[in-house]
Amino acid sequence: MATKTKQPPKLQLAELTAAQFIDIWKHYDADGNGYIEGKELESFFQELEVSRQGAGVDPANVMFKEKMNEFMANFDKNGDGRIEMSELAQILPTEENFLLCFRQYVGSSSAFMTAWRLYDNDRSGFIESDELKGFLSDLLKKANRKYDDKMLNEYTATILKMFDLNGDGKLGLSEMARLLPVQENFLLKFQDIKLTTKEFNSLFTIYDKDGNGYIDEQELDALLKDLCDKNKMKVDPVGLVGYKSSIMALSDVGKLYRTELEIVLCKDSTL
Average pLDDT score over the chain = 76
With contact defined as beta carbons under 8 Å apart, do 36 and 83 qualify?
A: yes
- Tell me the Cα Rg of the chain: 21
Higher pLDDT, 195 or 103: 195
Closest CA to 151 of 89, 98, 87, 93: 98
What is residue 208's predicted lDDT score, i.e. its pLDDT?
92
Per-residue pLDDT reduced to its tens digit, 12-61: 555 566 666 767 777 888 777 778 888 888 888 887 777 666 555 677 77
User: Which of 27-41, 115-129, 163-177, 248-262: highest mean pLDDT?
Assistant: 248-262
What is residue 228's predicted lDDT score, i.e. its pLDDT?
84
Q: End-to-end CA distance of the chain, in Å?
A: 41
With contact defined as beta carbons under 8 Å apart, do 75 and 90 qualify?
A: yes
| Structural domains in the chain plus CATH codes | 13-75+82-91 (1.10.238), 94-185 (1.10.238.10), 187-265 (1.10.238.10)
Give the range among 28-37, 157-166, 179-188, 243-252 with minimum mean pLDDT: 179-188
With contact defined as beta carbons under 8 Å apart, do 255 and 161 qualify?
A: no
What is residue 269's predicted lDDT score, i.e. its pLDDT?
40
Mean pLDDT of 84-93: 68
Per-residue pLDDT reduced to its tens digit, 136-151: 787 777 667 777 888 8
Q: How far is CA 5 from CA 2, 20, 37, 43, 248, in A?
A: 9, 19, 21, 15, 50
Q: How far is CA 69 from CA 66, 72, 153, in A?
A: 5, 5, 37
Alpha-carbon distance 161 to 155, whole Å? Answer: 10
Helix/strand/coil (H/E/C) assignment for every residue in the chain: CCCCCCCCCCCCHHHCCHHHHHHHHHHHCCCCCCEECHHHHHHHHHHHHHHHHCCCCCCCCHHHHHHHHHHHHHHCCCCCCCEEHHHHHHHCCHHHCHHHHHHHHCCCHHHHHHHHHHHCCCCCCEEEHHHHHHHHHHHHHHCCCCCCHHHHHHHHHHHHHHHCCCCCCEEEHHHHHHHCCHHHCHHHHCCCCCCCHHHHHHHHHHHCCCCCCEECHHHHHHHHHHHHHHCCCCCCHHHHHHHHHHHHCCCECCEEEHHHHHHHHCCCCCC
Closest CA to 193 of 250, 266, 143: 266
What is residue 270's predicted lDDT score, i.e. its pLDDT?
39
